[in-house]
Structure 1
């Protein structure tokens, strides 16, 4: 079957993933050191729980304040949470070109707070991508086969009609096991060449 839809990862593909920027902002807001923030939020599995959808956006806001010992306003926290995802404009240009030939979508392992923050701060994402699916919505994370099945069900597309782009070799391998074609992302120039081969 010919490719109908190209699905992009968010952090590491459409956006550069720079978690140190998030930690720095959270540390500033909470009056702590970045390493301490990492240990408190990431060390105990809290962030992994949010990515599986065990926490609502409101619950995440309240729990981060509780864990860091200082309430943080929703707007400030959204900005800090989103700081780890600066947009890669070169990749967005590729997405725009690809959208003239195929449907384009996003599948990311991330939480509901980031989803709300992303669509509020960057409303053009909602226009650019036909679907933006977060692991927290489908209660499954890549590279589990179920994550791809549930996401493609939302997108209403068969696995054999999808090209998946991710920077993680494990996620690329998992998508192939689920029946998708896939390429591993290294940089925009390489991705552009890969997409041209799929025309």
Structure 2
């Protein structure tokens, strides 16, 4: 039996950080310009790697001064950024589950914001047998240890796993440890890929 391992962000759950600041900036462009100025993507990757929110704020403040003041409300506003599910993918996961396919997940996600994901999407804990959250284990995709951690925790062999991610770097990371992997570009294409592997 093959095991299917999902990424979550941009595969099952849309993530749009600008929405956390929609009540602060008058336009989306203004919010995105500010996110660029404070190098939000780099900041967030460290959060996903296990840095605490308070430590993250201190680092951002040291680098950007008062310009990061809006970031202080990010944790509370985070639910706004994940309110939209990716079209069609939940249905695929549920179809796999109905066929008895073991489902797992590996996500680059901050430990501080992860509880919001479970509140908004309680099905995560019902569909997946195990979810490895990068911020909790302090490992990030696409480095090999996070894939191996999932396999070690659940007694899985790499050759029996199919990994799905929207990031090609993460797909290549999975392949490097011996997993089959699918680059996610949309639910329709994913359904075809899984059908070709005899899972749907």
The alpha carbon displacement at 1:175 in A equals 0.5
Give the corresponding residue for 1:68: 68
Give the TM-score of the pair, scaled to structure 2. Answer: 0.79
Give the corresponding residue for 2:45: 48
The alpha carbon displacement at 1:84 in A equals 4.5
Give the corresponding residue for 2:21: 26
Mapped pair 1:151 → 2:134:
no
CA spacing shift, 1:166–1:7, aligned 2, 3 Å: same
Give the TM-score of the pair, scaled to structure 1. Answer: 0.80
What does the per-residue CA deviation read over 1:138-180, in whole Å, with 9 as the maximum and x for residues that have no partner? 2221111112111222333221211101122221111111011
**CA distance, structure 2, for counterparts of residue 73 and residue 37 of structure 1:** 12
**CA distance, structure 2, for counterparts of residue 87 and residue 128 of structure 1:** 15
Structure 2 unmatched ranges of 5 or more: none
Structure 1 unmatched ranges of 5 or more: none
Give the corresponding residue for 1:191: 190
Count of residues paired in the alignment? 189
Residue in structure 1 matching 2:13, options 12, 15, 26: 15
3-state SS, counterpart of residue 99 of structure 1: helix
The alpha carbon displacement at 1:30 in A equals 7.7
Please tell me the root mean square deviation across aligned C-alpha atoms, in Å: 2.9
Does structure 1 conserve the Cα–Cα contact (< 8 Å) formed by 2:87 and 2:187?
A: no
